[in-house]
Amino acid sequence: MKWVTREHVKVDRVACPWLIKRFVDAQAEFFFVPHGQVQEVAAREKAIPFDVEGAELGHHGGKCSFEAIAAKYRIDDPAIELLARIVHGADCSDDLYGRQEAPGLAAIAEGFRYLGLKDDHEILAKQMIVYDALYAYCQKQAANK
């Protein structure tokens, strides 16, 4: 499957590809394009748009795109539910959950933007391990409940 979103990735636009690769489609291909080109690229490449205004897999009803993807693909995993709350808090100004981990994730995501990496694909590649680790943390937290 092909997926497309806005360039200059940060929290949700890194967390979503992680979620997609780990739980929806391990062979997913991602396009990061200027905001105004998302729909054009989606049509041309037959790609699924995400985390962009008007996309089914975007911010709706106070939820972030990560939450939309988890719901659409019925990812029923308590650790993913917890991770979604952390991503939401790091990404959205209207934090619904108050997870203490969210500001740390936001700071890490912002820091990756300052490393001088060549493009969004490199940022995504480097951050996958961050989300793997955060998921492992969430699995442990969920198991302890």
Q: pLDDT per position in the chain (145 positions), as tens?
A: 999 999 999 999 999 999 999 999 999 999 999 999 999 999 999 999 999 988 999 999 889 999 999 999 999 999 999 999 999 999 998 888 999 999 999 999 999 989 999 999 999 999 999 999 999 999 999 999 8
Q: Which amino acid is at 104?
A: G
Cα distances (angstroms) measured from residue 119 to each of 12, 35, 116, 122:
16, 15, 9, 5
How many other β-carbons are positioned within 10 Å of the β-carbon of residue 110?
12
List the chain domain ranges: 2-143
Q: Where are the beta strands (DSSP E) in the chain?
A: 2-6, 29-33, 48-49
Burial 11-39 (b: 16+ CB within 10 A, else e): bbbbbbbbbbbbbbeeeeebbbbeeeebb
